[in-house]
Amino acid sequence: MINIDSISLAYGSHTVVQDFTAQIHRGTITAIIGSNGVGKSTLLSGIAGEMKITSGLLQLESREISSYSLAELAEVRSVAQQSHSYWMAYTALEILLLGNENVSNERLNYLTTELGLTAFLHQRITELSGGQLQRIEIARAFMRELSLVLLDEPFASQDLASQGSLIEFFKAERELGRTIILVAHRDRGALEWCDQIINLN
């Protein structure tokens, strides 16, 4: 379980998230929604341990997040950011395997099929659309089957068909016990498949 008790997050002297409290249970999907600029992505970074909280308590599995080393965090959670940049013209497959060389072929084939990546695995990433790159990042986040996956705007560059496929994929991963937290620009009605919706407005 993730226990969040009155945390605040800031950039310098500018507080972005203040006194936020929530509990997120294992094996659930939680959506963070709200208007632009309210701190959705900042909150996600705080939960991921990528940004230091300025006050309050944030615990992953009863352990304060500040006590985790970066190596330890990398073994308990994965993150797919909204933006992605690579300085070399890797193929999609090379990006998927970057740091994931020990992942089984079965897992790789499952993810590339479920996320619609098979057709362009051997294309250079410079030739791919924003939506295709985003699905590669999502696949990378689920590659090592970690218990916690955090996704920043996973639907942002997807067409309706791809959004529907992603939802079914997330639901299937939840059934395997995965905890998923995602930032979304959607209203509550479009997120009824989530177990919890956090509105930062």
Side-chain-side CA neighbours of 163 within 13 Å: the count stands at 13
Q: pLDDT tens digit string along 103-121? A: 999 999 999 999 999 999 9
Report the CATH number at residue 105.
3.40.50.300
Query: Could you give the C-alpha distances from 24 to 8, 39, 138, in angstroms and in order?
Result: 17, 18, 21
Instruction: Provide, rounded to the nearest whole percent, the portion of the chain with pLDDT above 70.
Output: 96
Q: How far apart are CA 112 and CA 28, in angstroms?
A: 23
Task: Give me the helices (H) in 59-200, please.
Answer: 70-76, 92-97, 105-114, 130-142, 160-175
* 89 compared with 30, residue with greater pLDDT: 30
Per-residue pLDDT, 13: 87
Per-residue pLDDT tens digits for 122-181 = 999 989 999 999 999 999 999 999 999 999 999 988 999 999 999 999 999 999 999 999
Number of domains making up the chain: 1
pTM: 0.92
- Domain around 49: 2-199
